[in-house]
A and B are shown apart, each in its own frame.
Chain A
Amino acid sequence: MTDLADPPRTRSRSVHLRVPGAVDVRVLRRSLVTVVVVALATAALVVYQLTTGDFPLELERVWATLSGRGTLGEEFIVYDLRLPRILTAVLAGAAFGASGAVYQSVTRNPLGSPDIIGFTFGAAFGAIFAIVILDGSGWTVTVGALAGGLGVAVLVYALAYRGGGVQGYRLILVGIGVSAVLASLISYLILKANILDAQEAYVWLTGSLNNRGWDDVRIGVVGLALLAPVLVALGPGLRMTEMGDDAARALGVTVERHRIAALGFGAALCAVAVLCAGPVTFVALAAPQIARRLTGSPTVQVVPSLVVGALLLLASDTAAQKLVPTADLPVGIMTLGLGGAYLAWLIAREGRTRIG
């Protein structure tokens, strides 16, 4: 119970980010603290990853290498082996987290994330199609993954569309159906492929951060820089739709336009993440929900989900490397294990709250 004798101090839970005359944004204090703490934890993990591994490096040597005073060997370790992999993990995790937040907000359902709805597999299907059928590599695969992700987004939206709009539950059910079809198509493509293509495709499917290079980092940077601000800008309108479409419209939200924009840009960002790291499951699903619990916010938010996603994928990759150092375990296997357990817990919990 709140103490009624104490005069209520409203807004005490929020802080203002201000640039006089230009910016005045109100955020929950706890959200801000969460973002800062998670970002610091991510930075600490980046440092840990840079300094440890088969060839441990002192922090001071890493710094020397980064400022151009390293030996050839140190430069190879930092610039070719560690940094691309770490940055790819951070960028792809952030992209997965942000796109997951947007999707869960649109569907108003914690299960409504791109990996459940089938977009992750849409992008993977596009990439594998490009590898196996078009015999492509490099940009062909990139375009294939983007086209696959967006194509599935359009398909799921069109199939779920009814009576002037789309309901979250329909989107999820249609998405699960489309995922099943995609899974069978992917199996077919792999069976048809020659052994080398099949191997490349298989690495694509699990999602791995092994052998990531600066190309992956560039895709992640450009994708996030272009798409994340759009998703952040859509946030306030999407939050209104959580009160029901009519209430949101009455407040001046163009509900259907917001929804299509969110799904389109969210799918694009998800495709970017898949391009960087492969169809890693679990991050888009769990990051928004973990962020929501950390911030104590009633709703899913883009920015906290983004930083939690970055930390989550980097932590999963760190764990995959350190727990089984000899196996070069793909991070996708790690997140799949975590994701399965999380999903079971989530569904069990959802079931209980729905009934109780």
Chain B
Amino acid sequence: MTTLPDHPDHPDHPDHPDHPDHPGQSRPPRTHEDAVLVGDGLHLKYESVVVAEDLHVQVPRGSLTMIIGPNGCGKSTLLKALARMLKPDQGTVLLDGSDIHGESTKAVARRLGLLPQSPVAPDGIAVADLVSRGRYPYQKLLRQWSRDDELIVNEAMAATGVSEFAQRGVDELSGGERQRVWLAMVLAQQTGTLLLDEPTTYLDLAHQIDVLELCRSVRESRDMTIVVVMHELNLAVRYADHLIVMRGGRVQAVGAPEHVVTEELIERTFGLPCRIIPDPETGKPMIVPRLRSALRGAGVEAEVGAGLAGAS
């Protein structure tokens, strides 16, 4: 079993309700005092299929949290529930301690942002106009635009390095540039917490790194909390400071990557035999999948060896 970190300042104590060893799932959950976003006893259904039952998750304030897990483990559904796109059958989602379904959706949108997996840029829209849409939660019917809005939009474009494309059409840009434009839009929303659903999918490695570096730098410069659903394990381990590992609608492990990522966890969660070696760049764990043929080969050799030993 995974041993969770024993840091006094860490939200993931072994008696934490999310811990797989923790039996008392019906016990009232303990909320970490500095969790910005909490999913508490969530029962989630997606198109009438039960995805998760009694799920507890917490996102530490100021963290870059990544949710990983195999396809169909419920990580995107969880993100939708945290972002109020999906109303849980039971349980609550607390943002700064208050239920996100309890206030107007526009008020929540000023504190919680989401970039969905495949948003659609309207035909021919210019970059600056798309980024401006991030100001929607602040607009009133007759007071739609102020000097502040303009400054915030310009600053969001500068932070993501898209200012130079401001007047170009979004559809003229490359995949990586486009993703930075979408990030600028959600940054212009000026929320303390930002949820990203697989923001690196369909990007090449260099652009994946770009996006994640950008997440890290804005998290630091703006003191935000960012939650990312990720497919690429090694990138998740490298960039996350808090991991939520899921399988079959349950949390398998939570905590800092260097504390939770083990060969056993990865094999149990993804069914992937692997070796964990220190990343030569960061010293964090690096997951190296084992060669299937080598595994088979090792097995055959062992059998042959045993057979020979028996014959002699």
Contact = CB atoms under 8 A, between A and B. Distances in A.
A22 B139 CA distance: 13
B137 A2 contact: no
A351 interface: no
Contact of B137 (A24, A25, A251, A299): A251
A13 B132 CA distance: 13
A146 B11 CA distance: 60
A2 B167 contact: yes
A296 to B, nearest CB: 8
Contact of B128 (A11, A22, A236, A253): A11
A164 to B, nearest CB: 9
Contact of B145 (A12, A26, A163, A251): A26
Interface string A1-36: 010100011111100100000111110000000000
Given A11-B128, A252-B105, A252-B136, A246 B85 contact: yes
A233 B136 contact: no
Given A10-B150, A23-B142, A246-B114, A251 B166 contact: no
B49 interface: no
B150 A11 contact: yes
A242 interface: yes
Interface in B158-203: 163-168, 186, 189
A8 B165 CA distance: 8
Given A163-B47, A244-B118, A24 B163 contact: no
B145 A25 contact: yes
A251 B107 CA distance: 10
A299 B110 contact: no
Interface residues of B, number: 51
Contact of A252 (B106, B121, B168, B186): B106
Contacts of A237: 136
A185 interface: no
The majority secondary structure among interface residues of chain A is loop
Interface string B209-227: 0000000000000000000
A25 B139 CA distance: 10
Contacts of B163: 8, 10
B265 to A, nearest CB: 31
A24 B142 contact: yes
Interface in B78-130: 80, 83-85, 104-110, 112-116, 118-126, 128-129
A299 B107 CA distance: 26
Contact of B109 (A233, A242, A252, A298): A252
A247 interface: yes
Given A12-B167, A243-B119, A251-B189, 19 more contacts: A2-B167, A8-B166, A10-B154, A10-B157, A10-B166, A23-B142, A24-B142, A24-B144, A26-B144, A240-B133, A242-B122, A246-B114, A247-B114, A247-B119, A250-B83, A250-B109, A251-B137, A253-B106, A298-B129
26 contacts: A2-B167, A22-B142, A23-B143, A24-B143, A24-B144, A25-B142, A26-B144, A236-B136, A236-B144, A239-B122, A243-B122, A243-B133, A246-B85, A247-B115, A250-B83, A250-B109, A250-B116, A251-B134, A251-B189, A252-B104, A252-B106, A252-B108, A253-B105, A253-B136, A298-B129, A299-B125
